[in-house]
Amino acid sequence: MNTLGLERRDGRNLLVVAVIVAVIIAATAEGPVGVRILAGGIAGIISAGVFVVSTVLINRYKPDYW
């Protein structure tokens, strides 16, 4: 996490976002329970990746006064 420039709170926020997305997708997906959990897990991983990329870009290119 430190090599990417992420702070401790960014890691916590990453986990919260991934879990919330995974739960929502698993609850709203259709199919057997195993498929729903798999879909939620994949969506959680994708959202975590997007969160990391956007957070790194924001931290790197944000203005000094922000």
Q: Which of 12, 5, 8, 20 is nearest to 54 (CA)?
A: 5
Hey, what are 44's tokens? 């959680």
Q: Is the CB of residue 46 less than 8 Å from the CB of residue 8?
A: no
Residues 46-58: tens digit of each pLDDT:
999 999 999 888 8
Residues 20-36: tens digit of each pLDDT:
999 999 999 999 999 99
Domain boundaries, given as residue ranges, for the chain: 23-58
Tell me the whole-structure pTM to 2 decimals: 0.81
